[in-house]
A and B are shown apart, each in its own frame.
Chain A
Amino acid sequence: MRTKRFVVFTLLLVVALALSATLVSAQDAKVIKIASQTPLSGPQSVLGSSMSNAVALAVEQLSGPLAEAGYKVEYVPFDDQATPDVGVANANNLVNDPAILAVIGHLNSGVAIPSSEVYDQFNLVMISPANTNPRITNRGLTTVNRVCGRDDLQGPTGARFLAGLGTVSSVYVLHDTTAYGQGVAEFFRVEAEAQGMTVLGFEGTTEAANFEGVIQPILALAPDAIYFGGIYSQTGIFINQARAAGFSGIFMGPDGTDSSEFAQLSGEAGVGTYYTSVAGPASIYPNAAQFVADYNAKFGEDPQPFAAQSYDATAIALNAILEAATIAGDVPSRAAVASVVRSTTGYEGLTGTVTFDAYGDPEVGLYYVIQVGSSDPAAWGGNTLLETLEIPSPFKVLSDSMMGG
């Protein structure tokens, strides 16, 4: 009995040694990993999976120069489930893999804010394709960057657009109580009041299925427009039920509305909905045609919004890693990658030219006002683009004014 146990133990030891040997040899091949954190399961997975696909595509297409320099680039997708605690748990796991040199993510600001605190402790750079909450960059973390615009500029863009219509004098504001939804709704409210509209209500709801109770007081107050700061999985169901209950006014949302799933959920009720976005449909970007074709060939469907931004974020990360690796002559440190990413200037991406300011915001953000044209999810890319606005980031405004003054 004892000898048998000894034999089993020895065998296990041998297997373990063999495994660790292969691990060491794998590290010898100079593997660099790019991680992503997006919701791959659950109600928001339509956007999250598409972002993850775009990162995979970018790694496949753009890792050539790194391969020539002798590095093997691998892609590790993480599923943050659109939940802050899952995002932070993943973050704690992935910082312990020394081969991971950059994170692309997240979709939700409420998940990105606590997760990026973890990345920052380990100098791991995060480039966000989609997080619009001001706090993402306002904290001044050197590792946190984004290629998209900000909610303190996006919310007001929506309010000014509604004011410009001339038919909206009262508005009811809803939000999903998350950092993203409540944040953008508050910026919308402030600007709506500044534009002279009456804000009849400001309500948060976590309801996911039955909005009857939310709709009752709205119908009694009869606003000209409803603004819902939230994600399509809530707003699409909401507008469907609100129209069925007899609401006939204008409906508007932020970029969380921007997914073909919104059309799927809202059907006819969603046609005519306005939304602001920091990411136009990929089809409006002149450089993105090849990306759309490649994406379609690989994944069999059109990219969702934020896919092109994810591709750009990955490209910036890969460029920075190559530059840092060339300087170091070896696999670069995370801090070196982070500082090269921050110094990105004039990067010509699919979605425009990216120059990061001192806080990691793009110096000039693009903001769009778009209207839903059809209840067919396949026609989402054909939504009407009503306005495109170029708004400089707050830091850019500040530094320009200091230069001027």
Chain B
Amino acid sequence: MVSVRSTTDWLYRYVVFPVGQMLIFIIGAGLVVSVLAYLLAFLFPEPRPNIILVDQINRQLPGMLIAGVSLGFVYAMIALGYTLVYGVLKFINFAHSEIFMFGSVIGFEVMRRLDDTGYMQGWNPILLVAFIVLWAMLLSGLLAVLIERIAYRPLRGAPRLVPLISAIGVSLFLTDAVRAFQAITRNEFNLTYPTIDLPWLKNPIPLAFGETTVNVRVTSIIIIVAAVLMLVAMNYFVNGTKLGKGIRAVSQDMSTASLMGINVNYMISLTFFVGGSFGGAAGALFGMNVGTVTPFVGFIPGIKAFTAAVLGGIGNVTGALLGGLALGMIESFLNGILVYFPALGQRYTDVFAFSVLILILIFRPSGLLGERVDEKV
């Protein structure tokens, strides 16, 4: 009897609750931006001749929502790396965007090697995606641990600006190291993922929403499913295991944690491994979705994910998820709607997205969920 209760309790705490939370965030963010979009359509019914904004929004709404969710999950996964490290060491690991890039390049390397040996086409695609993501996670996680050992640990007692500068240096180094490596070994700059020759994987799935049909890419669905699975696992790791408890203890008070017999250096390395492997997984999934990556691909998603972490409340794991989804959704809607405004257009998407960020931070300086300090990791 007790074990049944504890099983349902476990399921609730580590599966139902986090998945429900994600659903609420998605629906909430989707609702808010949809309402704003229709409000805009009400204010500017015909921004350009022959363009009725409401009709365009109706037609694009499902597509924009799905694009927003898949983009948002990528941002959320990268944002986790920023927020975990901030929670423990109280500094921004600016090299994290390069961990993301590294993961995407590892994904390319693994897939290309499989393709060259001819094994790839015979594999089950789901197994293949899992295999590639696991490699990217493992190597990116190890790289993050290595960076911490070399570039951050010797500076642990130094003023906070010093590791920040070190992080920027590591970031520049990694970009050009990968560029040099690819130039020497493959003489390629644009790294194109090999394609899997399966019709159901290549062709988008048409989904009918009323009168409109939306083509959903299978890779978008893969990103969303993989991200949900990994975020659930992450939540369990941080909140349900002894190691997670150790990380939380170190983030609350490093010296007291070490008095309690917790190996602080080990916990910090572990934090970097977890954050780095999430960044790497996001990179590999991103690469499979967009098809081509370069050694410079990390910068923009890195900055946006950092923004997402700040938006959600840096140091807060749930906040990173919410911030990522909110930013992805805002960006996707702005991309879809700004097109119809003459003299504006999509190149102003980031201006508006970051204006929203500034507005939110003016009213909530510690981010959307920043005040619940007790849940900080």
* Residue positions of A touching B, CB distance < 8 A: 41-43, 45-46, 177, 201-206, 208-214, 216-217, 219-221, 233, 236-237, 240-241, 244-246, 261, 264-265, 267-268
CB distance A210 to B292 under 8 Å? Answer: no
The chain A residue sitting closest to B213, CB to CB, is: A246
21 of the cross-chain contacts (CB-CB < 8 Å) are: A43-B189, A201-B339, A205-B346, A209-B292, A212-B71, A213-B67, A213-B332, A213-B336, A216-B63, A216-B335, A217-B336, A220-B63, A233-B190, A237-B290, A237-B291, A245-B215, A246-B215, A261-B190, A264-B190, A265-B190, A265-B292
Q: Tell me, in angstroms, the Cα distance from A46 to B195 when the chains sit together.
A: 22
Q: Decide if B217 touches A217 in the complex (CB within 8 Å).
A: no
CB contacts (< 8 Å) of A210 on chain B: these are 71, 286, 289-290
B71-A219 in contact (CB<8A) = no
> B190–A43 contact, CB under 8 A?
yes
Interface of B is mostly: helix
B307 in contact (CB, < 8 A): no
A240 to B340, CA, bound (A): 24
Chain B residues within 8 Å of A45, by CB: 189
Decide: A244 near B204, CB < 8 A? Known: A43-B294, A237-B291: yes
A264 to B192, CA, bound (A): 7
Q: How many residues of B contact A (CB 8 A)?
A: 42
B153 on interface, CB distance cutoff 8 Å: no
Given A216-B67, A217-B56, answer yes or no on A203-B346 (Cβ-Cβ < 8 Å). yes
Given A216-B336, A220-B63, A265-B192, are A244 and B293 neighbors across the interface (CB < 8 Å)? no
Residues of B near A220 (CB, < 8 A) are 56, 59-60, 63, 336
Q: Which residues of A contact B347 (CB under 8 A)?
A: 177, 203-206
A306 to B350, CA, bound (A): 35
Contact of A241 among B70, B192, B291, B349 (CB under 8 A): B291
Q: How many angstroms from the CA of A225 to the CA of B318 in the assembled complex? A: 43
Of chain B, the residue at the smallest CB distance from A177 is B347
A219 → chain B closest CB, angstroms: 7
B contact set with A: CB distance below 8 Å: 56, 59-60, 63-64, 67, 70-71, 179, 183, 189-190, 192, 195, 202, 204, 206, 215, 217, 219, 286, 289-294, 296-297, 300, 331-332, 334-337, 339-340, 345-347, 349
Chain A residues with Cβ below 8 Å from B190 are 43, 233, 236-237, 261, 264-265
Besides A244-B291, A245-B204, 18 new A-B residue pairs in contact (Cβ under 8 A), listed by A number: A41-B179, A177-B347, A203-B339, A205-B346, A205-B347, A206-B347, A208-B294, A209-B300, A212-B70, A213-B335, A216-B60, A216-B64, A216-B336, A217-B337, A219-B63, A233-B190, A237-B292, A245-B217
Shortest A258–chain B CB gap in Å is 16
- Chain B residues with CB below 8 A from A221, complex form: 56
Q: A43-B190, A245-B204, A245-B215 are in contact. Are A213 and B289 (CB under 8 A)?
A: no
Give every chain B residue within 8 A of A219 (Cβ-Cβ).
60, 63, 215
Separation of A268 and B286 alpha carbons in the complex (Å): 20
Known: A43-B190, A204-B345, A210-B286. A240 touches B335 (CB 8 A): no
Minimum distance in angstroms from A134 CB to a CB of chain B: 23
Known contacts: A42-B189, A205-B346. The answer to whether A214 contacts B204 by CB under 8 A is no
The reply to whether B292 and A240 form a contact with Cβ atoms under 8 Å apart is: yes
List of A residues within 8 angstroms of B296 by Cβ: 208
Cα(A153)–Cα(B71), bound, Å: 40
- Determine the residue in chain A with the shortest Cβ distance to B345: A203
In the complex, what distance in Å separates the CA atom of A244 from the CA atom of B218? 9
Complex CA–CA separation, A214 to B349 (angstroms): 11
B292–chain A nearest beta-carbon distance, Å: 5
B293: chain A residues at CB < 8 Å are: 209
Task: Report the Cα distance A219→B336, complex, angstroms.
Answer: 10
Residues of B within 8 A of A214 (CB): 335, 346
> From B206, which residue of chain A is reached at the shortest CB distance?
A246
B residues near A241, Cβ cutoff 8 Å: 290-291
| Cross-chain contact of A217 among B60, B192, B294 (Cβ < 8 A) | B60
Q: How far is the CB of B245 from chain A (nearest CB, A)?
A: 37
A234–B16 alpha-carbon span in the complex (Å): 42
In whole angstroms, how far apart are the Cα atoms of A245 and B297 in the complex?
21
In the bound complex, CA of A265 to CA of B56 (Å): 31
Give complex CA distance A137, B291 in Å. Answer: 38
- Report A-chain residues with C-beta under 8 Å of the C-beta of B334: 213
List the B side residues contacting A213 at CB < 8 Å.
67, 71, 331-332, 334-336, 346, 349
